[in-house]
Amino acid sequence: RTRKSGPVRFHQPASDLLHRVEVAHTELSFVVPAYNEAGNLPTLCKGLTETSKQLGYRCEIIIIDDGSRDETVAVVTQLLDHLPLRLLRLSRNFGKERAMSAGINVARGDAVIIIDADLQHPLDLIPEFIRLWKEGNDMVYGVRSNRSDETNAKRQAARMFYQILGRLSSVPIPPDATDFRLIDRKVADALRALPENNRFMKGLYHWVGFKSIAVPFQPLVRGAGKSRYNFPRLIGLAITGLTSFSQVPLRFATMAGAAISVCSMLYATWVAGKTLIFGNAVPGWATLTTAILFLGGIQLLFIGILGEYVGRIFEEVKGRPIYIVANDSGPTRYHETTA
């Protein structure tokens, strides 16, 4: 073996050491998933910094740029020098659930607060979250006190979804819970350890368990821009939620299949008997069509349900990373926020 002569050099920049000292001091991490939120982020980041300053906590604000196509990156880059920000740029749009996971994975705080970038989540609630956390709750989550801001159809759909999910899910998932929540380091570490690709965060938060408490609040109106969650996307999320937290649809398919088989066997016996005794007068066109359509429909539905699960298995076995980071501005340069 050859060995280069000369003194051993430690290429360890001073800033790295500083960072490590900072790690020991970071207390609150804000995780902000952002997709096209250039109009809202300056207000939000200033608000968050101000809030933590008032509380006397050190903070880092982690903005996860979820492949935005507007000025989000430029706007946040400008703020980097002035505020305790960290910008994590994903390589494309991975969706809010994955963006949140990315943020939770890099957060270093003793508590992680997840908050929307669109100013819908009132910052005034943060002191209350922290108070409840200090009282020994590992997770404090905001629940919509009412959905009066939404259309009637969306409200009904949400109610139905949570009712079905509540019945079917193996873990209780509180209805109308939002992603606005504080999680303790323990919960963040538990979430980090979950390998699954299909991230239905509202379920995962409760799957990991721990002591949690709800705080009702009224979401504010969105700042700039508009919501990305239209009806088809919400239905997609609902199906993900149901299939990753319940196997009841599969069991239901089995049961229904069994019931239909028993009925058709009885009916077949009756038809055969009748034909043997009375002969065949060839009617029954209506019965035949109905039966074919009914069974065809049921079969397609159940193949669809099966397909949902197979698709989910496929997603998981591929073992692809949950998200890909294109660029990371690095751990927050610690700002003394204590007043």
CB 111 within 8 A of CB 27: yes
Q: Is 95 in the site for ligand UDP (CB under 6 A)?
A: yes
Q: Per-residue x/- marks for ligand UDP, 213-242, CB under 6 A?
A: --------------xxx-------------
Other CB atoms within a 10 A radius of the CB of residue 327 amount to: 12
Q: Per-residue x/- marks for ligand UDP, 7-36, CB under 6 A?
A: --------------------------xxx-
Q: Per-residue x/- marks for ligand UDP, 51-80, CB under 6 A?
A: ---------------x--------------
User: Considering CB under 6 A, how many residues would be counted as binding ligand UDP?
Assistant: 16
Residues forming contacts to Mg ion in the complex (CB under 5 A) are 118, 120
Would you say 84 or 95 has its CB closer to Mg ion? Answer: 95
Q: Kindly state the smallest distance separating residue 329's Cβ from ligand UDP, in Å.
A: 17
CB 165 within 8 A of CB 245: yes
Phi, psi of 268, rounded to the nearest 5 degrees: -60, -40
Q: Is 99 in the site for ligand UDP (CB under 6 A)?
A: yes
Cα–Cα distance measured from residue 290 to residue 282, given in angstroms and rounded to the nearest whole number: 16
Q: Kindly state the smallest distance separating residue 55's Cβ from ligand UDP, in Å.
A: 22
- Side by side, the strands of the sheet bearing 212-217 are 212-217, 139-144, 177-184, 111-114, 28-34, 59-65, 85-90, 325-328
Other CB atoms within a 10 A radius of the CB of residue 20 amount to: 10
Cα–Cα distance measured from residue 244 to residue 304, given in angstroms and rounded to the nearest whole number: 15
DSSP secondary structure string, 113-134? EE--TTS-S-GGGHHHHHHHHH
Q: Is 85 in the site for ligand UDP (CB under 6 A)?
A: no
Residues at the contact surface with ligand UDP, assessed by CB under 6 A: 33-35, 37, 66, 93, 95-96, 99, 116-118, 120, 227-229
